[in-house]
Structure 1
Amino acid sequence: MDVRIGAILAGIAAAGLGTAPAAAQQAGATRTELQALSYPDPGHRAATYLVTVPPQGTIPRHTHPGVEMGYLVAGEGILSVQGQPDRAVKAGDSWAIPAGTPHALKTGDGQTRAVVTFVTEAGKPLASPAPE
């Protein structure tokens, strides 16, 4: 699998979920922090989340101030990463999205869940909206 492809499910990817920006909240997605620590130094933060997106949900186009790596536990969707063709993802697929790369997710008919790890610059918002 091409690990350059990613996202957030919330981003997955991700867009902000749970305690993150309003764009992801509108999608009905949630992000539950599972663990976090300062890594690789005090200027960065590594955190792992369980991201849940409802059926036919959308995580709008967004970016992160660091890398996103994820694994789709359940569900399916279309992952859009700038500069790459859209990619169908299903349970068992994984991805990695470089820092600052805009991406989005549109989920299928069932609930979608992913475990997503971010390594980002400390003190910056986890996700920021990205223009189309």
Structure 2
Amino acid sequence: MSDEHLHHLDNPNATTPPPRIELVSSVPSPPPMPGNAEAMTIRVVLPPGSEGNPPHRHTGPAYGYMIRGEMIFELEGEPERVVKAGESFWEPGGDRIHYQDANNLPDAETEFVVTMFGVAGQPMLIPVSAEELEARRDRRAPRP
């Protein structure tokens, strides 16, 4: 971690130990924000074995942190991956399709928190039609 990411100030009057702060992730170039952006933070709990949402997109970027469990996460153009408790994920939103956000555990819940920057007044999740998925099939990374 570079000095620019240190998030601690010395407090000479402190009577307790300083906070423990750890950089979980950063995005080097902020993705474009939609006009009239609204920030919202949501908590998602996926039941054991849940397939999550069908393919969708968001009007702006989303940043998430896994509290517990494991999620299969797949964005257009990237191979699917498993995000585990204590790890983070992000997506740029806009035109990119979010294919998967499934619970990777058949016998336990998965929970994460995500902050999204979307267009105010528009849905948080915009479904992608079967026709569009077929038309963009070549943009999906090979599946395991």
Tell me which interval the TM-score lies in, with the shorter structure as reference length.
0.5 to 0.7
Task: Give 1:112 shift.
Answer: 0.6
- Structure 1 stretches lacking a partner, 5+ long: 5-39
Q: For residue 86 of structure 2, what is the aligned residue in structure 1?
A: 92
1:129 aligns to 2:132 (yes or no): no
Question: 1:78-125: per-residue Cα shift (whole Å, max 9, x none)?
Answer: 111110011111101101101122112121221010010001111111
State the AA in 2 paired with 1:119.
F
How far apart are the structure 1 equivalents of 2:26 and 2:44? 19
- Flag as ranges the 4+ runs of structure 1 deviating above 3 A: 1-4
Equivalence map 1:14-25=2 (5 Å): none
Higher normalized contact order (CA 8 Å, seq sep 6+, divided by chain length): 1
RMSD of equivalent CA atoms = 2.4
Higher helix share: 2
- TM-score using structure 1 length: 0.66
Task: Give 1:3 shift.
Answer: 6.1
Contact conserved, 1:45 with 1:121, CA < 8 A, in 2? yes
Partner SS for 1:47: strand
State the AA in 1 paired with 2:101.
L
Q: 1:102 is matched with which residue: 94, 97, 100?
A: 97
- Assess, with a 3 A threshold, how the Cα gap between structure 1 residues 87 and 42 changes in structure 2: closer, same or farther: closer
Q: For residue 56 of structure 1, what is the aligned residue in structure 2?
A: 49
Task: Give 1:41 shift.
Answer: 9.9
Contact conserved, 1:3 with 1:94, CA < 8 A, in 2? no
Contact conserved, 1:73 with 1:113, CA < 8 A, in 2? yes
- TM-score using structure 2 length: 0.60
Aligned length: 97
